[in-house]
């Protein structure tokens, strides 16, 4: 029976990757052991799903593009308008759901740009070291010494308000965390025997970086990226709340809360629902990041 099975391509493939499969099963078991990680995964999946199919499931898609129905303004939550309506009669449920897509885009861009700037700098600082490394780390420290939101506020102040400028500003201040992370990791990897051995047999610097250093940095980077998705969404919502991020009619959660603020306490639903969605999204990414850390990088748990 064994020989017959081994001849099918699928079984052969499974046979070859048995150790990987076993590892993945172990990961899944560790991950599933924590209900917090599962909750995080569920929240993130729900968020991604909502962002993906948003335009097709919302009842009033035109409400995110600046439609006005003054006859429907500031209605409480009802069967027609699950989260109520805002001051121009737009359906808040529609706007919150469509806001997920915008938030996802904002989070992805900021995290990606942050990583693309930060990871190479971190590797360079850690692997090349010397004067260059010191210089990179000192500049990073300076950037880390001003809260990201304040620095982003200054940059948006210079560029002018708007969603694009908010994304640019946050991307420009997001990379130092990655430099710190990758720098530390690279330093510890550099001292390991396998990297020393690679150097001893004359492997080139770039090759060592790409074959030995970067793949081993992937786990902590993944964990940080997951956390950062949440934090970046939170920061962008903060800029939106101040009035420097997305401008109407963009369905951005922070800006919605800020507009709804003028209608408290009577029309509480205006601010309440967008905030709840920010909270659930950020919570999801944080819990997922925690769960990923448990399986990918158990030593660095704090």
Residue ranges binding other proteins (CB under 8 A): 36, 138-139, 141-143, 145-151, 153-159, 161, 230, 234, 237-238, 241-244, 254, 257-258, 261, 264-265, 268, 271-272, 274-275, 278-279, 282-283, 286-287, 290, 301-302
Residue 287 CB, nearest approach to other proteins (Å): 7
Q: Which is nearer to other proteins, 90 or 258 (CB)?
A: 258
73 neighbors 266 (Cβ within 8 angstroms): no
φ/ψ region of 129 (left if φ > 0, alpha if ψ in -120 to 50, else beta) reads left
End-to-end Cα separation, the chain, in angstroms = 49
Q: Which is nearer to other proteins, 14 or 272 (CB)?
A: 272
Dig out the tokens for 157 from the structure: 């102040």
Q: Which is nearer to other proteins, 116 or 142 (CB)?
A: 142
Residue 129 CB, nearest approach to other proteins (Å): 14
CA distance 159 to 172: 12
Residue 6 CB, nearest approach to other proteins (Å): 45
Provide CB contacts within 8 A for 295, sequence distance 6+. 27, 30, 31
Provide CB contacts within 8 A for 247, sequence distance 6+. 161, 162, 163, 255
Residue 229 CB, nearest approach to other proteins (Å): 12
Q: Which is nearer to other proteins, 119 or 166 (CB)?
A: 166
Provide CB contacts within 8 A for 237, sequence distance 6+. 103, 245, 252, 253, 254, 257, 278
Q: Which is nearer to other proteins, 37 or 94 (CB)?
A: 37
Residue 222 CB, nearest approach to other proteins (Å): 19
């Amino acid at each position: 029976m064994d020989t017959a099975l081994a001849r099918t391509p699928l079984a052969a493939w499974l046979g070859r990757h048995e150790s990987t499969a076993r590892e993945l099963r172990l990961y899944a078991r560790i991950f599933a052991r924590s209900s917090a990680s599962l909750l995080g995964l569920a929240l993130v999946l729900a968020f991604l799903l909502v962002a993906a199919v948003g335009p097709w499931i919302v009842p009033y898609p035109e409400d995110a593009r600046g439609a006005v129905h003054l006859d429907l303004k500031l209605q409480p939550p009802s069967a027609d308008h699950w989260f109520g309506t805002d001051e121009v009669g737009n359906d808040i449920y529609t706007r919150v759901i469509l806001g997920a897509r915008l938030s996802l885009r904002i989070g992805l861009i900021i995290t990606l740009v942050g990583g693309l700037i930060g990871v190479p700098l971190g590797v360079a600082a850690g692997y090349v070291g010397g004067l260059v490394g010191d210089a990179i780390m000192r500049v990073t420290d300076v950037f880390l010494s001003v809260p990201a939101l304040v620095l982003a506020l200054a940059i948006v102040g210079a560029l002018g308000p708007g969603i694009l400028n908010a994304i640019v500003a946050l991307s420009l201040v997001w990379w130092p965390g990655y430099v710190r992370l990758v720098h530390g990791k690279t330093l510890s990897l550099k001292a390991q025997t396998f990297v020393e051995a690679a150097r001893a047999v004359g492997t080139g610097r770039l090759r060592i970086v790409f074959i030995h250093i970067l793949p081993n940095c992937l786990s902590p980077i993944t964990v940080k990226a997951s956390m950062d998705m949440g934090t970046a969404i939170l920061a962008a919502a903060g800029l939106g709340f101040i009035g420097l991020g997305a401008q109407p009619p963009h369905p951005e959660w922070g800006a919605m809360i800020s507009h709804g603020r003028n209608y408290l306490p009577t029309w509480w639903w205006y601010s309440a629902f967008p905030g709840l969605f920010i909270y659930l999204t950020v919570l999801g990414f944080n819990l997922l990041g925690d769960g990923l850390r448990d399986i990918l990088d158990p030593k660095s748990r704090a």
